[in-house]
Structure 1
């Protein structure tokens, strides 16, 4: 795998990561709470690391080629997003929440992040459809396919971590001193989660 292939992958991957979605909504919501951003981003990246392990093991292809399994994953992910979105709307994160409250919920914040990225069917499709375009399967390939897949997975996970951390930090720095705007952005994040989950469900029904 040469450097030009890696650069081309990063260019395409960054465009996808920079597209707002459920991950962005969760990072913004976490950025408005003290000390919640790092566990939230860690959870999101943990989900993508899980996909990387599956991709290296070749299990992503098996899952993606099974319509029933893929449908089940999509429905589960959609329901989870809607449930989290409803939670944000009914109990919007308060700006300046106490450190003790956040400390006690860090594990849950991390697990929620891992659930959002880990149950995101679009992530599965990214690993299944995008990665193969940048993997050299020829006899002259310098790296084994598993190693190439692992590298692309780590690069994608790193890009997600950097972008989501930046999004959360920006949201916290800009909005934490503006309680009214912060509440609006938090509710918009919740609405995005519900809408994205609803669209995924409708796609399965249709």
Structure 2
């Protein structure tokens, strides 16, 4: 892979990661409710899901998904319902002070990781992105196919870690400052939780609308 191809792929992934969406909302939401450790666990789930997308795209499974409109629609519906459930949970969540919560429990960390991974895997657009993008940057005729895929996976993971990791750190830090500033801080934290929950609801509605359009086509 040439440096120009690597730079173009990085620019493409960076632009996608910077667009607010379900992955970003999930990481920020868990950072606000569970602190930095929960946010980083959610980030790990997002990265794991993205690597699964790249692997499936390389194996041609994304092409199978595109050829089965029913499966595509079902994934959109499942994703919309899951996002709505997550948004409802954040809308109902109550902030707590960092002194009271301490270190997040292992169960919360596992829930953040697998929840983020499931959210990522239920996004059929990510499969289609892999299907559309990988052929442009992976060249089997040049040899070293595993190495090429590894470099692409590394760029993708590093970009997500840098952007979402920074957001998790900022959100967790803001949570600590707000939770430690008394009742007013807790009210601000509660508003942030409601805002992230609302973002997930909006995403769920949009995803459900896409499922309806897909089914009607």
Looking at structure 1, the residues matched to 166 and 160 of structure 2 have their Cα atoms a distance apart, in angstroms, of 10
Structure 1 pair 36/4, CA: closer, same or farther in 2 (3 Å)? same
What are the within-5 Å matches in structure 2 for residues 23-102 of structure 1? Answer: 23-32=23-32, 33-34=34-35, 35-96=37-98, 98-99=101-102, 102=105
2:194 counterpart of 1:184? no
Looking at structure 1, the residues matched to 45 and 29 of structure 2 have their Cα atoms a distance apart, in angstroms, of 14
Looking at structure 1, the residues matched to 157 and 73 of structure 2 have their Cα atoms a distance apart, in angstroms, of 24
Q: Name the residue aligned to 1:128.
A: 131
Range with greater deviation from structure 2 (195-204 or 50-59) = 50-59
Tell me if structure 1 keeps the 8 A contact 2:80–2:207. Answer: yes
Q: What is the CA distance between 1:142 and its match in structure 2?
A: 4.4
Q: How many residues align?
A: 203
More helix by percentage = 2
Q: Tell me how large the CA RMSD over aligned residues is.
A: 2.1
- Secondary structure of 1:94's partner? coil
Show structure 1 runs of 5+ residues with no match.
none
- Secondary structure of 1:77's partner? helix
Q: What is the CA distance between 1:16 and its match in structure 2?
A: 0.7
- Give the TM-score, by structure 2 length: 0.84
Q: Deviations over 1:132-175 (max 9, x none)?
A: 233336x4x3443x653443233223311221111111112234
